């Protein structure tokens, strides 16, 4: 690769001083173990690139997906939703005709359930509610998850009460 | 050759063979070790990515020198654009190489590097490829896509400017 003699001969003619400097030239020394680290770094970067390229692109959430349920992670909103659920339970048993789907013992127990008791139960067991059903409920477009993120407790109560008024019995029964 | 394992093995062989001369080349061009390191890594990564496009018409080291030289020129242009004033830029090498005590030979090497800093970038590249890397003009022509005659003229001008720098320092 190198043509030292040809280069030196040419240099002697152009600049004897530079030719002399070249003869005394020493290569620049990189830090110790530099080249082995270089190979490791280059291969690491290449593997990172390959992994990134192989990773499938993130798929956007479907329009009616479960993303809106994220707001339930906030305790305040979870409690508000539980309140809404409690009101729905009460509404079902007050408004609907007896269907016989529950045995008489459960029926009578629910009939005597106070709102406070229902609220306490749902608050304690909010994790047990079926997300699929909640998502199905969301498909009714009764909730706007984007706007919900900024609601105050008072707004939540008003909205949940209005939702209760607007929801028909059949929908309520499907939820529970 | 598309198998990643084979490609990696090929890259390692390539690096074993050419990393030292390419490091010297880049270090002479940009002077700072960390900058040379970044450029050398980019050079090998680009070589790995584009090895499929290497047609074998040129020699492998010519191809690698072309990638490295392009990296160096791009870097130097960016450095210039970042409004590093000329005094700082010209002193960069002196600061990085100058030691408290220098032997006569080392002092001359530092002065030579300082003289190179006064050259236009393309001329500096031509001088580095010829003086340090000792490439034949024909290979330099393939690296830089410039005629042999123009390269000879550029190298001669560079040598004369450096000679002039020594005479005035």
Dihedral sign from CA coordinates of A9, B61, B141, B23: negative
Spans of all domains in chain A: 4-54, 67-175
Residue A110 CB: number of other CB atoms within 10 A?
14
B39-96 confidence digits (pLDDT tens): 999 999 999 988 877 777 678 889 999 999 999 999 999 988 875 555 555 555 555 5
Taking the C-alpha atoms of residue A2 and residue A21, their distance in angstroms, rounded to an integer, is: 18
Q: What is the mean pLDDT of chain B?
A: 86
Residue A138, pLDDT > 60, answer no
Are the beta carbons of B72 and B10 closer than 8 angstroms? no
Among B8, B19, B135, beta carbon nearest to A43: B8
Q: Does B44 contact chain A (CB < 8 Å)? A: yes
Residue B118, pLDDT > 90, answer yes
- Which of the four pLDDT bands, split at 50, 70 and 90, describes residue A130? low
- Which of the four pLDDT bands, split at 50, 70 and 90, describes residue A69? low
Taking the C-alpha atoms of residue A90 and residue A111, their distance in angstroms, rounded to an integer, is: 9
The secondary element (H helix, E strand) that includes residue A166 is helix A153-166
pTM of the predicted protein model: 0.59
Residues from chain B that touch A4, judged by Cβ atoms under 8 A, are 134
For residue A126, the model assigns a pLDDT of 62
- Which of the four pLDDT bands, split at 50, 70 and 90, describes residue B138? very high
Q: Does B146 contact chain A (CB < 8 Å)? A: no
Helix ranges (DSSP H) in chain A: 4-14, 16-23, 34-54, 75-95, 104-111, 115-124, 131-138, 145-148, 153-166, 169-175
User: What is the mean pLDDT of the segment spanning B153-161?
Assistant: 97
User: What is the mean pLDDT of the segment spanning A59-69?
Assistant: 56
Pair of tokens at residue A59: 């798929």
- Cβ distance B24 to A27 less than 8 Å, yes or no, reads yes
Query: pLDDT: is A52 or A13 the higher one?
Result: A13
Q: Any long-range contacts for A137-142 (C-beta under 8 Å, 24+ apart)?
A: A137/A171, A137/A175, A138/A64, A138/A68, A138/A69, A139/A64, A140/A171, A142/A166, A142/A167
Pair of tokens at residue B22: 């390419």
Pair of tokens at residue A174: 């499907």
Among A2, A24, A27, beta carbon nearest to B134: A2
Pair of tokens at residue A57: 């692109």
Mutate to test the interface with A, among B109, B114, B142, B152 (most CBs of A within 10 A): B109
For residue B158, the model assigns a pLDDT of 97
Residue A144, CB-side half-sphere exposure with 13 Å CA sphere: 6
Residue B60 CB: number of other CB atoms within 10 A?
14
Query: pLDDT: is B33 or B8 the higher one?
Result: B33
Which distant-in-sequence residues (6+ apart) come within 8 Å of A122 by Cβ?
A: A82, A83, A85, A86, A89, A129
Query: pLDDT: is A8 or B92 the higher one?
Result: A8
Residue A139, pLDDT > 60, answer no
Residue A82, pLDDT > 90, answer no
- Cβ distance B37 to A34 less than 8 Å, yes or no, reads yes
- Which of the four pLDDT bands, split at 50, 70 and 90, describes residue A27? confident
Residue B29 CB: number of other CB atoms within 10 A?
25
Taking the C-alpha atoms of residue B141 and residue B129, their distance in angstroms, rounded to an integer, is: 11
- Which of the four pLDDT bands, split at 50, 70 and 90, describes residue B145? very high
- Separation in Å, CA A16 to CA A24, A41, B128, B129: 13, 42, 18, 19
Query: Highest-confidence range of A23-32, A50-59, B44-53, B125-134, by mean pLDDT?
Result: B125-134
The secondary element (H helix, E strand) that includes residue B154 is helix B148-168
Distance from A62 to chain B by nearest Cα, in Å? 36
Residue B157, pLDDT > 50, answer yes
**3-state secondary structure at position A162:** helix
- Cβ distance B136 to A6 less than 8 Å, yes or no, reads yes
For residue B9, the model assigns a pLDDT of 87
- Which of the four pLDDT bands, split at 50, 70 and 90, describes residue B8? confident
DSSP class of A31:
P
- Cβ distance B134 to A7 less than 8 Å, yes or no, reads yes
CATH architecture of B1-83: Orthogonal Bundle (1.10)
User: Residue holding tokens 């390419």?
Assistant: B22
User: What is the mean pLDDT of the segment spanning A112-137?
Assistant: 65
Spans of all domains in chain B: 1-83
∠ CA B121-B122-B125 to the nearest 5 degrees?
Answer: 85
DSSP class of A56:
P
Q: Does B19 contact chain A (CB < 8 Å)? A: yes
User: What is the mean pLDDT of the segment spanning A56-66?
Assistant: 58
- By C-alpha distance, the chain A residue nearest B107 is A21
Helix ranges (DSSP H) in B51-103: 60-81, 86-97
Please compute Rg for chain A using Cα positions: 37
Residue A8, pLDDT > 50, answer yes
- By C-alpha distance, the chain B residue nearest A40 is B12
Dihedral sign from CA coordinates of B155, B156, B157, B158: positive
Pair of tokens at residue B7: 């490609």
Dihedral sign from CA coordinates of B108, B112, B113, B118: positive
Pair of tokens at residue B48: 């790995």
């Amino acid at each position: 690769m190198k043509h030292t003699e040809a280069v030196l001969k040419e240099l002697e003619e152009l600049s004897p001083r530079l030719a002399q400097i070249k003869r005394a030239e020493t290569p620049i020394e990189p830090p110790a173990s530099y080249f082995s680290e270089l190979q490791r770094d280059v291969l690491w970067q290449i593997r990172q690139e390959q992994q990134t390229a192989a990773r499938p692109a993130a798929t956007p959430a479907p329009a009616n997906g479960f993303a809106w349920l994220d707001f339930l992670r906030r305790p305040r909103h979870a409690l508000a939703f539980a309140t809404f659920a409690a009101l729905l339970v009460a509404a079902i048993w007050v408004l609907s005709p007896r269907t016989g789907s529950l045995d008489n013992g459960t029926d009578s127990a629910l009939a005597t359930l106070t709102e406070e008791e229902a609220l306490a139960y749902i608050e304690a067991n909010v994790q047990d509610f079926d997300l699929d059903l909640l998502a199905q409920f969301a498909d009714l477009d009764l909730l706007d998850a984007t706007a919900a993120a900024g609601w105050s407790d008072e707004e939540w109560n008003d909205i949940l009460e209005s939702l209760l008024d607007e929801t028909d019995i059949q929908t309520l029964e499907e939820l529970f | 050759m598309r198998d990643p394992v084979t490609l990696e093995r090929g890259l390692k062989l390539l690096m074993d063979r050419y990393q030292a001369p390419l490091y010297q080349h880049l270090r002479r061009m940009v002077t700072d070790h960390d900058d040379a390191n970044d450029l050398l890594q980019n050079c090998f990564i680009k070589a790995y990515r584009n090895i499929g496009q290497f047609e074998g018409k040129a020699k492998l080291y010519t191809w690698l020198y072309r990638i490295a030289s392009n990296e160096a020129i791009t870097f130097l242009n960016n450095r210039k654009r970042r409004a590093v004033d000329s005094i700082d830029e010209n002193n960069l090498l002196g600061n990085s190489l100058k030691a408290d005590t220098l032997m006569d030979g080392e002092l001359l090497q530092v002065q030579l590097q300082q003289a190179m800093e006064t050259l236009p970038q393309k001329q500096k590249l031509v001088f580095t490829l010829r003086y340090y890397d000792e490439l034949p003009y024909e290979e330099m022509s393939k690296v830089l896509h410039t005629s042999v005659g123009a390269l000879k003229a550029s190298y001669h001008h560079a040598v004369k400017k450096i000679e002039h720098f020594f005479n005035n320092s």
